[in-house]
């Protein structure tokens, strides 16, 4: 089986830790972001690019996000403070993980672990649903980001220390 684009990107970075590879890829793409084909945030908030369709739902205590990615699109997640449900409803998606790149074929789901930061690549058009904690029942996406994610490893390590 031939490698998907995400595997090719990871293979072209000299042997480094998974975190270093993810950071290098994200840094490069952020540096060439044009706001149209490559959209990047400022590193301190989640963004919802217009190139993806979103649906946000808020049952009691839960935040559900549906996202549609078109074939050949690439995205980055923030670092997740806690595990969460990840459902691929349609399509084929490649996702980075600490020991390489994994392909998910819809329909499927996984529990993404605490501390996960992913690069995802849509091998085919995809519909992705994630399920996150929403203990305050807020519908404010920025507040939900503060509850569920951080944006760099220093913040994540501080979060872990605060939980001890």
Give the model confidence (pLDDT) of 20-56 as tens digits.
877 887 787 777 767 666 666 666 666 666 778 999 9
End-to-end CA distance of the chain: 45
In the sheet with 62-69, reading across from the earlier edge strand, the strands are 53-57, 62-69, 126-133, 84-90, 108-112
Beta carbons within 10 angstroms of residue 85's beta carbon: 14
The answer to whether 68 touches 138, Cβ cutoff 8 Å, is no
Q: What is the set of domains in the chain, with CATH numbers? A: 5-162 (2.60.120.10)
65 has pLDDT over 60: yes
Can you tell me the distance from the alpha carbon of 64 to that of 162, in angstroms, rounded to the nearest whole number? 26
Question: SS3 for 133?
Answer: strand
Beta carbons within 10 angstroms of residue 57's beta carbon: 12
pTM for the whole thing?
Answer: 0.84
Place of tokens 């559900």: 64
Listed in sequence order, the DSSP H helices in the chain are 5-11, 18-31, 141-148, 153-162
Give the model confidence (pLDDT) of 4-15 as tens digits.
777 777 777 776
Can you tell me the distance from the alpha carbon of 144 to that of 99, in angstroms, rounded to the nearest whole number? 29
Q: Flag the least confident range among 39-48, 53-62, 108-117, 143-152.
A: 39-48
């Amino acid at each position: 089986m031939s490698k998907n684009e995400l595997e090719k990107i990871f293979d072209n970075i000299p042997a480094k830790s998974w975190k270093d590879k993810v950071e290098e890829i994200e840094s490069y793409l952020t540096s060439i972001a044009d706001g149209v084909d490559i959209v990047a945030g400022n590193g301190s908030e989640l963004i919802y690019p217009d190139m993806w369709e979103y649906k946000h739902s808020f049952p009691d205590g839960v935040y559900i996000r549906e996202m549609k990615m078109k074939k050949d699109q690439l995205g980055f997640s923030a670092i997740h403070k806690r595990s969460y449900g990840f459902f691929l409803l349609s399509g084929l998606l490649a996702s980075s993980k600490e020991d390489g790149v994994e392909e998910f074929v819809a329909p499927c789901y996984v529990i993404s672990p605490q501390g996960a930061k992913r690069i995802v690549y849509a091998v085919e058009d995809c519909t992705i649903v994630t399920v996150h904690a929403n203990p305050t029942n807020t519908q404010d996406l920025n507040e939900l980001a503060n509850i569920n994610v951080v944006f760099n490893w220093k913040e994540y390590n501080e979060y872990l220390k605060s939980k001890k």
